[in-house]
């Protein structure tokens, strides 16, 4: 079974009709999608922690609710659960180094060093200069494979707004220019 080395990307014709989709082929397909980049942070009785995430999406505006998918095997994950709160700090165009730091380049204990983090309502760290900050309480969670889907009620909003956002696409950080044309 060699489907793991040949992602099925041919329109309309599955290359292996009765084989499951391999993790590698799935990751390759997902890498085609651009997404915003966020630092997901928490603080409270469980301590402070933060990591970089792209699996964040809006669920409902009534009441304002978003979700974030976190790997249950992440060493930071129990801290999020214990605190029950988190902040989704959406990164701006110039914050790609911070994204790499929180993705693992810097040790967990040192990730918050050198910046004046603030808070909104829940106490979760808010990044100064974040494009948007969604300050949330975790209200539900659902285990799916390796990850938990955390359902989060948005309790306060922050951020600078109106700037370029950082994107992750094709396995690298990118910038969408705000006034770029919509077609070639």
Q: Which positions from 75 through 134 interact with a second copy, judged by CB under 8 A?
A: 90, 93-94, 96, 118-121, 126, 128-134
- From CA 127, how far away is CA 88, in angstroms rounded? 9
**Of the listed pieces 43-51, 76-84, 101-109, 150-158, which binds a second copy according to CB under 8 A?**
150-158
Name the minimum Å distance from CB 44 to a second copy. Answer: 18
Instruction: Record the tokens describing residue 84, joined without a space.
Output: 């029950």
Gyration radius of the chain's alpha carbons: 18
Q: Which residue has the tokens 């790609």?
A: 96
**Of the listed pieces 5-13, 41-49, 78-86, 106-114, which binds a second copy according to CB under 8 A?**
5-13
- From CA 103, how far away is CA 95, in angstroms rounded? 13
Name the minimum Å distance from CB 11 to a second copy. Answer: 5
- From CA 54, how far away is CA 69, in angstroms rounded? 9
Residue 17 in contact with a second copy, rule: CB under 8 A = yes
**Of the listed pieces 42-50, 78-86, 101-109, 136-144, which binds a second copy according to CB under 8 A?**
136-144
């Amino acid at each position: 079974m060699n489907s793991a080395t040949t992602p099925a990307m041919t329109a309309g014709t599955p290359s292996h009709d009765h084989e499951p989709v391999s993790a590698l082929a799935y990751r390759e397909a997902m890498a085609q999608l651009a997404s915003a980049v966020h630092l997901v942070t928490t603080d409270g009785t469980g301590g402070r922690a933060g990591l970089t995430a792209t699996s964040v999406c809006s669920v409902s505006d009534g009441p304002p609710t978003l979700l974030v998918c976190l790997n249950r095997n992440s060493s930071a994950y129990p801290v999020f659960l214990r605190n029950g709160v988190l902040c989704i700090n959406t990164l701006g165009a110039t914050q790609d180094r911070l994204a790499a730091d929180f993705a693992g380049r810097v040790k967990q204990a040192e990730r918050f060093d050198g910046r004046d983090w603030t808070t909104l309502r829940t106490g979760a760290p808010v990044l100064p200069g974040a494009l948007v900050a969604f300050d949330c309480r975790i209200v539900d969670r659902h285990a799916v494979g390796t990850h938990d889907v955390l359902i989060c009620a948005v309790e306060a909003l922050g951020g600078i707004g109106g700037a370029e956002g950082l994107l992750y696409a094709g396995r690298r950080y990118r910038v969408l220019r705000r006034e770029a044309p919509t077609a070639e």
